[in-house]
Structure 1
């Protein structure tokens, strides 16, 4: 089925690749990058020790994985070769200005980082990944990128099911983790953690539901059903709760007219202001609610620690990547107590960016990865509605996911990688052909 589907998607075959070797090389680099993103945690913790790993806490010293780092550097050089930057140096300028400024602030934060060595490794990895993604998408184009990603997700879904049924000790969580006592029995497949698997299933649903071209109905609905069931069995609450709203927003976009973009922007701004004001006004009640054992696994005990640190370091923060997992000098040991200090993330991407790169950095990151791409979708008169529906659904999913998980500008986390892919795809989305 996979072979027939790949043929129907018209992914570059060997003849096409030989005619355009740079295109074939770019597709290879994209598959390699996605492979490292999906399987990269194995290179860090190993399959045998995954059960004791808390999401985001792979290395308490910040040393990371040399294999993973070299792998992404290799992908970057393959990307440079595929883009033929020696002949076309302008292709190095693939990043939009807003994203360049956001990454530039992250690099600038090395000047005041708590651990500049760890910060440099992490910001370098983040920069290489985002830069590679934008250059690859510009080389491959919108439709071929979507096709390649769909096939990668289909293969991953098949591997996840195979792991669950062939090796339950690997594919199903057997022990609880810090902050998640109900983890036992959750499906994760070949992923390091069930939240990774859940997020990838949700993204698979969005990419197959809003497929750019006509697809065999049996294939589409078969993949959707399998991905939805695995998402349910993963028990990933955040991804479960975001999938339907993301689908609904994408569906509404198919009826949207950019003539009313200012109304949409005003409405979204009003909703954002109202939500922010409500959160500030009822913060104590929210914290009390989230502190219950059955509510978001104790995030109410994590977030006040981050708020406390940020209130003391609101402008600059600790430096990019210099808050969690950097050893005994981590600020978490000064502000947190108990099980919170053993975590590897704050379970909120916006708060984690606040404590790392301060308020200016968070504003730059949100503008670059959410606001600017969203405005482009809302104001475009030429983008195909179905393509825009997929992209806006992915934006909403990533924005909501960062409310309870930390992936924003966080190296090769799955949601961050797909957020970067979404922003890059918005930049190359094609206008509809005549008569469409």
Structure 2
């Protein structure tokens, strides 16, 4: 992790001269991490939503995306190798290893193995980049300043895009695969307003970290610019989740007991899941919600969830394979003569359902163990019985944001998602903190 880089070098027993030969200049560290963060936050700039080709099956992937991730992956791999691969050793946990093995096996058993292996490669590179940023950063302050610079690139280009090329930065009635109600909502350089809003929530969290670790004015500049764009994006989910994330993680600073923190962090996620997918699985929950909520369809997502659940039951033990279900010819055209909006959905709007679609119900269990239970345990090992330092709080906020978002968006095992990449970084960061927290202090 960020401070683990310095901590490892202090505890590895290497001579000062040998350490210098394995070091990377600060300029290289900042430029590499800055480029990687911008790539993870947004790599599909200025997408033309009036292009009808976006309605076609997307099995081939984007050559530009593949080239960018491959280049970044090679650069990060070389940097981590130069600094020392041993820095990533704490991430070799049984739970993460089992997830990786199951994901690889189900990719080979996918309904389209070649497609799944390509998507698996993209996700693996995204995971490497998310972990590598923590190793390459020399210190918390350097990470904070790099985050601020990358956030500035995203924010400035988004605002300039709205001002100079609104036809490519604002939703319009000519968007072929978007809700007509989205017209006028800002998306900046992002392919959709939901992508933009998710990134803005991340940038607000980043701004709080920058303000605490590096520079208060710089941090608050990031926060205010990101908040303004978030409001203009009109994303109800992001606007709902942001105060929940900030409130829950703030309470975790006050309550230091493991049981209380676990309840604070897991309780809202369970509640979101019950309100969303639970209303489809259990009719009585849907009826109860109908009595207190004006609209229980979640913008029509209940139909997508029903479609996803039906197809999970078709292959409950091994799933369909990563990237081999949504937006494929099999899903869009097989079994129906009429192309419906449900068939053309790009995901199920629920990460837990999509996890089961990828690798079956066993993979969902493994995912919960690796990405929910293990980070809770790591958090308590790092800060059990005491308050949260700025670094741990950053990872906690990003991790909880991913968990909460997962009830409404697909943010797990999706290398194209900024929330997924920051969620993985948070999981890795909490794990690395258990190894280097004492030395870092």
TM over 0.5: yes
Tell me which moved more, 312-321 or 413-422. 312-321
**Are 2:236 and 1:237 equivalent residues in the alignment?**
yes
CA RMSD of superposed structures (Å): 3.5
Instruction: Please give the alpha-carbon distance, in whole angstroms, between the structure 2 residues aligned to 1:69 and 1:286.
Output: 46
For residues 385-430 of structure 1, give each alpha carbon's deviation from its aligned partner in whole angstroms, at most 9, with x where no partner exists.
3333322222221111121111211123111011112122223446
Instruction: Please give the alpha-carbon distance, in whole angstroms, between the structure 2 residues aligned to 1:218 and 1:53.
Output: 44
Consecutive unaligned residues in structure 2, runs of 5 or more:
1-19
CA shift, 1:40, in A, is: 2.0
Instruction: Please give the alpha-carbon distance, in whole angstroms, between the structure 2 residues aligned to 1:21 and 1:296.
Output: 49
Instruction: Please give the alpha-carbon distance, in whole angstroms, between the structure 2 residues aligned to 1:269 and 1:246.
Output: 12
Residue pair 2:186, 2:229 contacting (<8 A) in 1 also: yes
Residue pair 2:399, 2:423 contacting (<8 A) in 1 also: yes
Tell me which residue corresponds to 1:68.
Answer: 65
Tell me which residue corresponds to 1:41.
Answer: 44
- The SS at the match of 2:415 is coil
Instruction: Please give the alpha-carbon distance, in whole angstroms, between the structure 1 residues aligned to 2:333 and 2:364.
Output: 19
Alpha carbons of 1:419 and 1:187: their partners in 2 closer, same or farther (altered >3 Å)?
same
Tell me which residue corresponds to 1:163.
Answer: 161
Tell me which residue corresponds to 1:393.
Answer: 397
Tell me which moved more, 355-364 or 116-125. 355-364
**Are 2:371 and 1:369 equivalent residues in the alignment?**
yes
Residue pair 2:185, 2:233 contacting (<8 A) in 1 also: yes
Tell me which residue corresponds to 2:91.
Answer: 95
Residue pair 1:348, 1:404 contacting (<8 A) in 2 also: yes
- The SS at the match of 1:417 is helix
**Are 2:411 and 1:407 equivalent residues in the alignment?**
yes
Alpha carbons of 1:270 and 1:21: their partners in 2 closer, same or farther (altered >3 Å)?
closer
**Are 2:421 and 1:425 equivalent residues in the alignment?**
no
- The SS at the match of 1:84 is helix
For residues 91-124 of structure 1, give each alpha carbon's deviation from its aligned partner in whole angstroms, at most 9, with x where no partner exists.
5646332223212211110232111110000011
CA shift, 1:160, in A, is: 0.9
Tell me which residue corresponds to 2:4.
Answer: none
- The SS at the match of 2:303 is helix
**Are 2:67 and 1:29 equivalent residues in the alignment?**
no
Residue pair 2:375, 2:427 contacting (<8 A) in 1 also: yes
For residues 259-299 of structure 1, give each alpha carbon's deviation from its aligned partner in whole angstroms, at most 9, with x where no partner exists.
x213443676677677767724335448979x998953210
Instruction: Please give the alpha-carbon distance, in whole angstroms, between the structure 2 residues aligned to 1:322 and 1:243.
Output: 31
- The SS at the match of 2:254 is coil
Consecutive unaligned residues in structure 1, runs of 5 or more:
1-16
Instruction: Please give the alpha-carbon distance, in whole angstroms, between the structure 2 residues aligned to 1:73 and 1:379.
Output: 35
| Alignment coverage as a number of residue pairs | 409
Residue pair 1:287, 1:300 contacting (<8 A) in 2 also: no
Instruction: Please give the alpha-carbon distance, in whole angstroms, between the structure 2 residues aligned to 1:303 and 1:155.
Output: 36
Query: What TM-score do you get using the length of structure 2 for normalisation?
Result: 0.81
Alpha carbons of 1:125 and 1:288: their partners in 2 closer, same or farther (altered >3 Å)?
farther
Alpha carbons of 1:276 and 1:299: their partners in 2 closer, same or farther (altered >3 Å)?
closer
Instruction: Please give the alpha-carbon distance, in whole angstroms, between the structure 2 residues aligned to 1:93 and 1:53.
Output: 46
Alpha carbons of 1:146 and 1:62: their partners in 2 closer, same or farther (altered >3 Å)?
farther
